[in-house]
Structure formats: structure tokens, C-alpha cells
Amino acid sequence: MTGTPDRSGVTGVVDRLLAVLVEGLPPDLRRPFEEVRETLHAPLRLAVVGRVKAGKSTLVNALVGRRVAPTAAGECTQVVTWYTYGSPDRAEVQLRDGTSRPLVLENGAVPASLDVPVEEVRRIVVHLQAGALRDLTLIDTPGLATLTAANEEATRRALLGDGSSTAAAGDADALLFAIREAERQDDFDFLRDFHRASGSLSATAVNAVCVLTQADLFGSGDLAGGDPFALARGVADRIATEHPTDFSAVVPVSGLLAQTARTGLVTEQLARTLRELASADPVLLQLWRQIGTPEGIGDAEMTGLWEALGPYGVVAGRSVAPEGAAALRTWLGSTSGVDELDTAIQRQLLPRAHLIKAIRALSVAATLVPGLPDHEDARARLETALLDPALHPLAELRALRLLGAHAPASPLVPRLEAVVDDPDGVVRGASGAADGLRRAAAYATGEATRSVVPAEIEAARVLARSYQLLARRVAGSPS
Ligand SMILES: Nc1nc2c(ncn2[C@@H]2O[C@H](COP(=O)(O)OP(=O)(O)O)[C@@H](O)[C@H]2O)c(=O)[nH]1
Ligand SMILES: [Mg+2]
């Protein structure tokens, strides 16, 4: 994944503001501000949330490109775990008392159980030299509605903060919502609870993507009911229609197939085994545990194949297997939906990472300011700073969020998205550059008077200012 540099200047402005606010203060008052300043320059923290066994850890492995998170049929992610870029590969357990101790990875993976009581653990941090983590820190969670209260509590604290002011906005910048079809109604109850509990961090189309997990298992388990991915797509489209304001995208994904594709499990040997099943009857294939493996294939081989690919992957993958392991990997990446999920993350979350982080930093700062000795002065400085034109992209993102909530079909949505995500492209596309941008500003101002929807009026005003600021930038630049 490639990061998008912050060309807007927002990060710098917020960073300087936070530094100025605590000038001359004692270290204990400065520390929380300094912590939040660091987050401005760190990769986006993307938390995977959802019910236990939704397939979160499997998805994390697929996105990281390694089988590093423990996955199991039972509940096994016990504590919140951060996967972050770093070299050499190593892990540590951070305890609630502020200390930390090294954690030995077992065959490159986080052990499924720890030698410390989970209540004492704040989080595990795993540093990996994995390209996918250069722009993202992935946070795996035990999941809400877990079997044990302690695990659920850990998830809530990680996402929603533990009540202390620094953690008030929680640890995550953005969310992947993992929803499993089999528990659909429950999952939406969960989403509602999450919204209620998370306040400012609620999932919105600006910072959340929904993943419909285990897409390979949709429909009837025997594959007689049709293509599970097509069924999953139908459900995903319906969720997207029903929740336009919650998610910027709803993507059906088979974490299992994605994990297999991306963690080196697709070998030529696996492709060969699959090829040998070419003529087997799909229905009998799925009964192999009861009636035995097809001729020439051992139990262990078949078990390995089944664990890596599941029934759909085995049956459908046979047509690709003759082309070899590389083709099978490509097919799995695309069929599993993980390529599409990557695209959603890269197009919808990463380009906005600096804005999402800045908004979060400012809201944390706002909660910290009342605790400062000179808080009247600090508040005034914070409010003045918010008027800086360099922070206009934050107003754009807020307007986009509002528009998403109240007028998702507005023609202003794509235009706001363009100024948020690709201001340079907007400048290039404006015929006559500065003049073109000024005309666009005038048009947007007109829209503000034509519309009767408050969110749209606000968006049009914000957009007019965006074009004006871009026009000023173009007119003022030397070229
Ligand atoms: N067939 C299939 N099984 C999956 C998929 N994702 C996860 N699983 C299985 O579901 C179980 C729970 O997965 P896990 O990732 O540990 O769930 P978590 O509790 O949400 O982290 C494991 O046995 C996985 O192998 C998937 O996409 N397809
Ligand atoms: Mg897990």
C-alpha cells in the first residue's frame, strides 16, 4: 500500500498548535499532548472490530500477508493486538501498570495464550517488516460480545477509551467492521451498540469500511444454492443501501481464501493436488470425511487442502489449478475480495488519513484543554487556530460526513470527495486554472442558495471556499 503525503499542510498546523498549547507547562501536563502529536505522524490505526469468530484475525493475517494472528474455531484472540511496521520482527506485551515485557513469537505467530492474566494486559504490539504495514497499523480485537467479560472489556477500552482523557477518543483512527451473514440481525444490534458507546468515534462513511466476512460460506453449505460470492455481493449491496452513512464501502471477503492467497500457502504441490480432483463429483467431494478421499489423495493432503481453501475454494479452484500456483494465487486474491478491500482502504481511508488523524488530535486536545492551568487562554488559542485556512480540509471532511448522513445522493458528494482526496486533480481539471476555480466557486455559492437541505447548503458553502482557496493557491504559485 502506498501512503499519501499530506500536501494540505494540515498535519503541520495541528502539530504546531499542539506544541504551542503546552509551551512552558510541566512534563506531566505536556505528555498527553505529545502522545497525540506523535499519532499525527504515525501510520493510520485501523481497528478490525466485530463479533467473536467473525473472521477478524484471519482477515488481519490476509492484510498483513503473514499468519501472525492466532485464529481458531473457538474464541482465541484474547487481547487487543497491534500489528505495526518495524524491524527486526519482534513483539511485546504492554501491561496496564505501564511496564512492558518481550513476547516470544511461536513460529512467527502470536501465541494463543499468555503467561500473564489478560486483565493486566493493555495490548500486545507486534513489529513486523511487512510492506502492508508501512501506511497502516492494524489493530486486532477480541471482539464485542465475546465469551468472556474481560475480553469484551479490553475491546471496548481499546476502541472507546478507558475514560481517561488521553484515551477519550480511543486508540483507533478508522475501522473495518467485520460482519458475518449468519448473525446478521445480531450484528446490526452490535453496530447500534457500537454507535451508542463510541460517541465521536462512531463508524461513519468517512472512516469505516464494512467487510462481509466468510463470503465463501454464503448460501447453502453444499454449493447447490449458487455462487456464494454472488449471494454475498447481493447482501453487501443491501447493507450498503441500508447504511449509506455508516460505511464508505461494503465489501464481501473470504478471509480464509485471502489468507491462503497472501501468506505463502499456495504452492505448486497444492495446485497439483487440486488438479487431481478435476473430475471428482463436487457433492461427493464435500462428503470426503464421511466417504473417504478421492483416489490417489491421502487424508493429510485432503485435510490441508480443505483447511486452506474451504469447500468453495476446492470445488471452484479446480478450474484454475491447471495454470499453476501463481495463477491460483491471483484467482484467490481477486475471488476472495481482498484485492477489492485493499482498493477500498487505499482509495477511501488512506488518502484521508492525515485529516482523520488531525480531527482526532484536535478533539483529544479539546478534551485536554480544560485541565490546563491557563485554560481560558488555551481555549482561545485553539479556537483561533481552527480558523486557519490551512485547516479548511477538516471542514471539507466534516461537510462530507454530514452530507453522507443527510443527503448521500447529492451531486455535491463527488465534488467534495474530489477536493478532499485529490485537490491537485481538481486544479488540473479546472479549465483556465484560477479562473476556472473561481467560476466553480461561484457555481457552488449558487448551489448554496438553490438547495433547501441544510447539509447540502453547508456543503456548498464549504465547497465554494475550497475552490476559492485552490484558486488563490494557483494564482499565488510561481508557475
Ligand atoms: N470458510 C471460511 N472460514 C473462515 C473465514 N474466516 C475465518 N474462518 C474461520 O472461522 C474461525 C474464526 O476465525 P477467526 O479469524 O479466528 O475469527 P475472530 O474471532 O473474529 O478473530 C476460524 O476457524 C477460521 O478458520 C472465511 O472467510 N471462510
Ligand atoms: Mg481473533
Q: Which range among 30-34, 43-47, 197-201, 404-408 shows the weakest confidence by mean pLDDT?
A: 197-201
Extract the C-alpha cell encoding 348: 477511501
Which H, E and C letters describe the chain, residue by residue?
CCCCCCCCCHHHHHHHHHHHHCCCCCHHHHHHHHHHHHHHHCCEEEEEEEECCCCHHHHHHHHHCCCCCCCCCCCCCCCCEEEEECCCCEEEEEECCCCEEEECCECCECCCCCCCCHHHEEEEEEEECCHHHCCEEEEECCCECCCCHHHHHHHHHHHHCCCCCCCCCCCCCEEEEEEEHHHHHHHHHHHHHHHHHHHHHCCCCCCEEEEEECHHHCCCCCCCCCCHHHHHHHHHHHHHHHCCCCCCEEEECCHHHHHHHHCCCCCHHHHHHHHHCCCCCHHHHHCHHHHCCCCCCCHHHHHHHHHHHHHHHHHHHCCCHHHCHHHHHHHHHHHCCHHHHHHHHHHHHHHHHHHHHHHHHHHHHHHHHHHCCCHHHHHHHHHHHCCCHHHHHHHHHHHHHHHHHHCCCCCHHHHHHHHHHCHHHHHHHCCCHHHHHHHHHHHHHHHHHHCCCHHHHHHHHHHHHHHHHHHHHHHHCCC
For the segment 270-323, what is each residue's pLDDT rounded down to a tens digit? 999 999 999 999 888 888 999 998 888 999 999 999 999 999 999 999 999 999
- Our answer on whether the CB atom of 261 is closer than 6 Å to any ligand 1 atom is no
Q: What architecture (CATH level 2) is domain 10-254+338-354?
A: 3-Layer(aba) Sandwich (3.40)
Q: Which residue has the higher pLDDT, 368 or 246?
A: 368
Closest residue CA from atom 25 of ligand 1: 72
Extract the C-alpha cell encoding 402: 454530514
How far apart (Å, rounded) are the C-alpha atoms in residues 385 and 379? Answer: 10
Residue 147 in this model has a pLDDT that exceeds 70: no
pLDDT averaged over the chain? 86
Task: State the distance from the centre of ligand 2 to the C-alpha of 74, rounded, in angstroms.
Answer: 9
User: Given this model, what pLDDT does residue 195 score?
Assistant: 60
Task: State the distance from the centre of ligand 1 to the C-alpha of 283, rounded, in angstroms.
Answer: 23
Closest residue CA from atom 12 of ligand 1: 53
- Our answer on whether the CB atom of 217 is closer than 6 Å to any ligand 1 atom is yes
Task: State the distance from the centre of ligand 2 to the C-alpha of 153, rounded, in angstroms.
Answer: 15
Q: Which residue has the higher pLDDT, 76 or 461?
A: 461
- Our answer on whether the CB atom of 143 is closer than 6 Å to any ligand 1 atom is yes
How far apart (Å, rounded) are the C-alpha atoms in residues 152 and 4? Answer: 34
Q: Which range among 148-152, 308-312, 461-465 shows the weakest confidence by mean pLDDT?
A: 148-152
How far apart (Å, rounded) are the C-alpha atoms in residues 396 and 387? Answer: 13
Phi, psi at residue 20, to the nearest 5°? -65, -40
Phi, psi at residue 242, to the nearest 5°? -75, -25
- Our answer on whether the CB atom of 335 is closer than 6 Å to any ligand 1 atom is no
Q: Which residue has the higher pLDDT, 269 or 224?
A: 269
- Our answer on whether the CB atom of 55 is closer than 6 Å to any ligand 1 atom is yes
Asked if 81 contacts 121 with a C-beta cutoff of 8 angstroms, the reply is no
For the segment 426-444, what is each residue's pLDDT rounded down to a tens digit? 999 887 788 999 999 999 9
Residue 75 in this model has a pLDDT that exceeds 70: no
Extract the C-alpha cell encoding 214: 466468510
- Our answer on whether the CB atom of 57 is closer than 6 Å to any ligand 1 atom is yes
- Our answer on whether the CB atom of 52 is closer than 6 Å to any ligand 1 atom is yes
Query: Closest ligand 1 atom to the C-alpha of 255?
Result: 27
User: Given this model, what pLDDT does residue 294 score?
Assistant: 87
* Cα→Cα distances 232→5, 105, 282, 310, Å: 35, 35, 21, 16
Tell how far CA 57 is from the center of its chain. 13
User: Given this model, what pLDDT does residue 3 score?
Assistant: 45
User: Given this model, what pLDDT does residue 337 score?
Assistant: 98
Residue 76 in this model has a pLDDT that exceeds 50: yes
Domain residue ranges in the chain: 10-254+338-354, 259-335, 388-476
- Order of strands across the sheet with 90-95? 100-103, 90-95, 121-128, 81-85, 136-140, 44-50, 174-180, 208-213, 249-252
